[in-house]
Amino acid sequence: MAIGVFDSGVGGLTVHRKLAERFPSADLVYLADQANAPYGGRPGEEIVELTRAGCDRLFDQGCDLVVLACNTASAIALRRLQQTWLPQRRRELARPVNVLGLIVPTIEAATGLPWEHEAERRGDKVEKLDILAVFATPATARSRVYEIEIDKRRQDVAVFVEPCPDLARMIEDNAGAVELAQAVETHVAQITARIGRAPDRAILGCTHYEIIADMFRAALKPGTPLIHQPDATAAALAGYLERHPEIDPGSDGLRRFLTTGRPGAQHDLVQTFWEGPLSFEPA
Ligand code: DGL
């Protein structure tokens, strides 16, 4: 058996890399739905259907567990699939398959609180607001998941979300460094103007953006801490596997990279991030 890692494209590689470091002997199958990327500008129903199809492909490849290394799929599709599709799929496959997202671990990392914690609403005056900027796809931004879930837990944190409609596509298309840096600077300037000052912390709330994290670091106020989704997701998976011994992550250290798009060598931006050649097989 194996663990599946799913994204619309190459962004989930940022999560895959941390999972591979943390679970060197696990068998990992990565699926990029590049035929349909990016997801961030699509209507919700399409995102749900594409995510379901991606999870199914990974179950067919022998994965018991799929990690959605994609904020858009996690924000829009995960709860729906867990409630309406997975129970029946488990019965059909007669295996304990499951799908996990990365928003819960990111919110836990951002709040410093376990997911189960909900703050008592006491209406106390908050003396100092911790301003958290989230850069995300339009679909993730529209879901308001970061504002809602953080506000439930921490009233001293104010969340501002900046939708970045073109960034994931530019990264998929191997856009040049100058063009990418300009786009990032524009988004940082926009959110800073909206807040009225520089944010105290930031979440790169689309896994594609982690590939160009240095550009965000350069555009944000020097030293702005970034909450690191790949680390948070790897830590959450470790806890999950401990609590669920029925999930078999495999033990051969197998690495497979599948795409629904054009197979073959990935482009320069990805290989630079990957620090070596990376080739995808047809899904
Ligand atoms: N990497 C994805 C995310 O984390 C999806 C980007 C997209 O397909 O628009 O949101």
Give the per-residue pLDDT at 119.
Answer: 74
Tell the residue number behind the tokens 């965000």, with chain if given: 216
Give the per-residue pLDDT at 120.
Answer: 72
**38 CB within 6 A, ligand 1:** yes
**72 CB within 6 A, ligand 1:** yes
**40 CB within 6 A, ligand 1:** yes
Q: Atom of ligand 1 at shortest distance to CA of 41?
A: 9
Mutate which of 8, 42, 167 to test ligand 1's pocket (most atoms within 8 Å of Cβ)?
8
Strand partners, 159: 132
Name the amino acid, one letter, at 126. V
- Give the integer Cα–Cα distance in Å for 281 and 265: 9
Name the amino acid, one letter, at 58. L
Mutate which of 14, 134, 207 to test ligand 1's pocket (most atoms within 8 Å of Cβ)?
207
Give me 190's structure tokens: 């926009």
**207 CB within 6 A, ligand 1:** yes
Domains of the chain: 2-103+230-282 (3.40.50.1860), 105-228 (3.40.50.1860)
Catalytic machinery residues: 70, 206
Q: Cβ of 279: how many Cβ atoms within 10 Å?
A: 11
For the stretch 89-100, what's the b/e string if a residue is b when 16 or more beta carbons lie within 10 angstroms of its beta carbon?
A: beeeeebebbbb
- H helical segments located in 23-129: 44-60, 71-76, 78-84, 86-93, 103-111
Strand partners, 29: 4, 256
Q: In what order do the strands lie in the sheet with 201-204?
A: 157-163, 130-136, 201-204, 226-227
- Give the integer Cα–Cα distance in Å for 8 and 235: 22
- Give the integer Cα–Cα distance in Å for 267 and 174: 6
- Give the integer Cα–Cα distance in Å for 247 and 282: 26
The pLDDT averaged over each successive group of 10 residues in the chain (283 residues) is 97 98 98 98 98 98 97 98 97 95 98 87 73 98 98 95 98 98 98 98 98 98 98 98 94 98 97 97 97
Mutate which of 206, 212, 233 to test ligand 1's pocket (most atoms within 8 Å of Cβ)?
206
Q: How far is the CA of 128 from the centre of ligand 1 (A)?
A: 32
Give the per-residue pLDDT at 175.
Answer: 98
Q: How far is the CA of 70 from the centre of ligand 1 (A)?
A: 5
Q: Atom of ligand 1 at shortest distance to CA of 136?
A: 10
Q: How far is the CA of 123 from the centre of ligand 1 (A)?
A: 36
Strand partners, 256: 29
Q: How far is the CA of 267 from the centre of ligand 1 (A)?
A: 18
pTM reported for the whole predicted model: 0.96
Closest CA to 5 of 93, 67, 74: 67
Cis, peptide link before residue 38, omega less than 30° from 0: yes
For the stretch 120-144, what's the b/e string if a residue is b when 16 or more beta carbons lie within 10 angstroms of its beta carbon?
A: eeeeeeeeeeebbbbbbbbbbbebe
Q: Answer yes or no: are the C-beta atoms of 5 and 12 closer than 8 Å.
A: yes
E-state strands within the chain: 2-7, 28-32, 63-68, 98-100, 130-136, 157-163, 201-204, 226-227, 255-259, 264-265, 279-282
- Give the integer Cα–Cα distance in Å for 90 and 86: 6
Q: How far is the CA of 233 from the centre of ligand 1 (A)?
A: 15
